[in-house]
């Protein structure tokens, strides 16, 4: 098992292994930031593959799969996967961390983290984010995510019945969906992730003085609904002729979306994936942030998009239909404007209001900044998560299980 250089905090009294199969995708800054915000617990990131997409220098990182996979190592990992066990060297190395708990992000990764929890005799806390609980069961069982995840819905519900397993949901909407799926209500509670309002602050140019720029940040996939924003901009430009759309992100729909924007005559800048500094710069220029999310054909829907919280902390009025944000982070007319999914006309009306009404835009911006500081500061929310760690870590009455769930 490869061990990367790390920074030890020294003050924490207990250790939590934070598991993600791949460490970490560029879009998963929320996992890194939440780990860095821990104070009473020492975080150790654990995964099977290093992506090298996010800097993790300030964290302890343990890669379970050696960089140089010899024939014997490959055979060992293959045998371990077949029999749902953990290679002896991995088990021995992780025991040295003296962890009290494993916290796994995404229910799909819980299937791979469970053998670790069982081998180390540790409780498992699973954070549900969105697609891992919203996607329809028959979509998984049809093998759309690969044959290894055909049994995912069944196995997740089996895990949910075990006394050493508990869940957190990133929004009330995700908790409700988890319960609908069969997870016992007493096993799942809401723990917002939040952001650091000291990193995302209002820019020097007041929102009322900004050009009519509408900013979208997200993957260019069905769930994010960028197509509906492009169509809404056609209506917006009838009232705000110089309105411009800025799109940050990439994905399988990018070419189609660019073509559609040209076809309907919309001024849109597709910037692709951008570093944190550029996203922050674009937020400081934007008059409105829009995330027109929809429920995808396979059931996938938003949890609570971090991009919305970042925009609010930056003093940029938000217009959204995002599941999880509606009524939780975004309250109509107070900390943003809401519209029904796929309702292009209403979306255009909301965008036009914020682009045209300086007083409304200024009011929403100010109230959004105040709400983030009060209710979505990652430092405060991580203290609450650590309380959940303490409760989960006391689930020590582990029971023998069948080898395969």
Domain borders along the chain are 2-194+380-393, 207-376
Strands 41-47 and 165-169: what pairing? unpaired
Over residues 316-364, the pLDDT tens digits come to 999 999 877 778 899 999 999 999 999 999 999 999 999 999 999 999 9
Q: CB-based burial of residue 302 (10 Å sphere; 0-12 exposed, 13-18 middle, 19+ buried)?
A: buried
**With contact defined as beta carbons under 8 Å apart, do 120 and 101 qualify?**
no
Helical packing angle, 358-375 and 344-356, nearest 10°: 100
Within a 10 A sphere around the Cβ of 278, how many other Cβ atoms? 12
pTM: 0.89
Secondary structure of residue 130 in the 3-state scheme: coil
Q: How confident is the model at residue 134 (pLDDT cuts 50, 70, 90)?
A: very high
Q: What CATH architecture does domain 207-376 belong to?
A: 3-Layer(aba) Sandwich (3.40)
pLDDT band at 403 (very low <50, low <70, confident <90, very high): very low
**Is residue 131 scored above 50 in pLDDT?**
yes
pLDDT score at 267: 85
Cβ atoms of residues 160 and 181 within 8 Å: no
Express as a percent the part of the chain with pLDDT over 70. Answer: 90
Hey, do 2-194+380-393 and 207-376 end up sharing a CATH topology, with the first three levels equal? yes
State the average pLDDT over residues 232-249: 96
DSSP 245: E
> What letter would DSSP give residue 148?
G
Q: How far is CA 324 from CA 46, 203, 230, 262, 310, in A?
A: 28, 27, 23, 32, 15
Residue 396 has pLDDT above 90, yes or no: no
Fold entry, domain 2-194+380-393? Rossmann fold (3.40.50)
CA distance to 95, 220, 289, 368, per residue, from 266 (Å): 57, 17, 17, 29
């Amino acid at each position: 098992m490869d061990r990367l250089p790390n920074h030890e905090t020294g003050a924490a009294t207990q250790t939590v292994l934070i598991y993600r199969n791949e460490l970490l995708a560029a879009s998963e800054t929320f996992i890194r930031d939440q780990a860095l915000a821990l104070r009473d617990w020492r975080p150790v990131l654990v995964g099977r593959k290093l992506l090298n997409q996010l800097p993790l220098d300030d964290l302890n990182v343990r890669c379970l799969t050696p960089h140089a996979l010899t024939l014997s190592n490959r055979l060992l990992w293959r045998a371990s996967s077949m029999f749902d066990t953990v290679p002896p060297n991995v088990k021995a190395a992780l025991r040295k961390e003296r962890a009290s708990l494993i916290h796994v992000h995404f229910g799909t990764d819980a299937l791979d983290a469970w053998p670790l929890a069982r081998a180390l005799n540790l409780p498992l806390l699973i954070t549900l984010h969105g697609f891992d609980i919203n996607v329809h069961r028959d979509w998984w069982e049809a093998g759309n995510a690969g044959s290894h995840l055909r049994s995912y819905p069944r196995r997740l519900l089996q895990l949910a019945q075990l006394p050493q397993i508990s869940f957190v949901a990133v929004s009330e909407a995700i908790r409700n969906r988890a319960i609908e799926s069969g997870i016992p209500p007493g096993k799942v509670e809401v723990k917002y992730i939040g952001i650091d309002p000291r990193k995302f602050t209002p820019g020097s140019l007041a929102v009322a003085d900004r050009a009519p720029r509408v900013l979208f940040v997200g993957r260019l996939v069905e769930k994010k609904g960028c197509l509906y924003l492009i169509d809404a901009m056609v209506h917006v430009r009838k009232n705000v002729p110089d309105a411009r759309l800025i799109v940050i992100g990439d994905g399988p729909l990018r070419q189609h979306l660019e073509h559609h924007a040209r076809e309907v005559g919309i001024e849109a800048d597709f910037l692709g994936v951008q570093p944190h500094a550029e996203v922050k710069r674009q937020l400081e220029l934007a008059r409105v942030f829009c995330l027109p999310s929809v429920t995808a054909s396979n059931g996938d829907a938003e949890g609570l998009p971090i991009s919305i919280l970042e925009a609010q902390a930056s003093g940029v009025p938000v217009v959204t239909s995002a599941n999880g944000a509606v009524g939780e982070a975004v309250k109509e007319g107070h900390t943003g404007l809401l519209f029904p999914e796929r309702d292009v006309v209403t979306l255009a009306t909301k965008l036009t209001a914020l682009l045209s009404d300086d007083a409304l835009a200024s009011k929403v911006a100010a109230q959004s900044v105040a709400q983030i500081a009060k209710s979505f500061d990652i430092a405060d929310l991580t203290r609450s998560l650590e309380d959940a760690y303490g409760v989960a870590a006391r689930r020590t009455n582990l029971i023998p299980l069948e080898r395969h769930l």
